[in-house]
Amino acid sequence: MHTPDETLATTSSHIRALKDITFGSIAGMVSKVFEHPFDLTKVRLQSQVLDASARFTGPIDCLTKTWKNEGVKGLYRGLPAPIVGAMVENASLFLTYRELQNLIRRVTHQPESQKLPLHQLAIAAAGSGAVTSFLLTPIELVKCKMQVQMLVTPSSSALSHPPLGPIAVFVSAFRSTGLTGLWLGHTGTLIRETGGTAAWFVTKEYVASLLLARRAPSSREDQSLRPWESALSGACAGASFNLALFPADTVKSAMQTADELRPKLAGQRYSPPSFFGTFLEMYKAQGIRGLYAGCGITVARSVPSSAIIFLIFDGLTKHFG
């Protein structure tokens, strides 16, 4: 039998979790609409590292050719999957980040109101990224496959078919490789999300603490971030997320688009590419430069995108939290 205080605490916890999911989903969805053309460019540059002849010389060339050959629709090809992915990713990240912080407080006997030190925030953030990676990998698989459909070589029979939608791509991948095949590239997603999310949240918290500390003594009682402070700390976090472990994302994209861009010969038995095998193959092909293909445009778009995410999340939390 729960006491009234316990019931109230449980209800409050459920409401807080629902708000984290809702606010995170909204922030992720808005940011993804803004950044999708740049994400598409990143994936296309990453996927061509193992091609004998590169289709694009760089991000500007990729954006220009995509616009010229495919129009606005091409720049937003595969958008439904990342919209869903961004909603799932950010809802999961913010929810599990808060819950893991609460778990750390209980284990270390710290009061709920106390701010955790950065090293403990990093642990909570890394755990949040690890959990999210399991939800995100199948969505990223569909997204990457959709983003390279128009790059299929003329010799492939896939060119004779119109581009598939997200459901069709999902079903096709499931039929080809089974349930476990939907998590192709998960090692890369796990590395990227675990290390990247730790860098993301810790950078945001650290920069935010510096901004709060620079305030005049008379205004330090209010610990909520102003909109520009949320945006600036979020922008710094976005850059650190992608710089932390970018090669893992490059290998993941190459693995998830291998069937489309480097199909097996007829009659050859299917064997999924391994993460470390693909990593070595890409390193041999283009060295460090190949592993960082698309990094520049990714960091450039992640700065405003991450600023948007934290501006929206912190704003919604402040007004409705």
User: pLDDT by residue (tens digit) across 26-59?
Assistant: 998 999 888 888 888 998 899 888 876 678 888 8
Grade residue 289 by pLDDT with cuts at 50, 70 and 90. very high
Q: What is the pTM of this model?
A: 0.85
Write the single-letter amino acid at 303. Answer: V
Of 75, 39, 95, 145, residue with least CA distance to 317: 95
In order, the DSSP letters of 137-180 are HHHHHHHHHHHTGGG--TTSGGGGSPPPPHHHHHHHHHHHHHHH
Q: Classify residue 54 as left (phi > 0), alpha (psi -120 to 50) or beta.
A: beta
Q: Which domains does the chain have, with CATH numbers?
A: 16-320 (1.50.40.10)
Give the tens place of pLDDT for each residue, 110-156: 998 888 999 999 999 999 999 999 999 999 999 899 888 877 644 44
Least confident of 39-53, 169-183, 224-238, 278-292: 39-53
Residue 8 has a pLDDT of 52
Q: Give first-to-last CA distance, the chain, whole Å.
A: 29
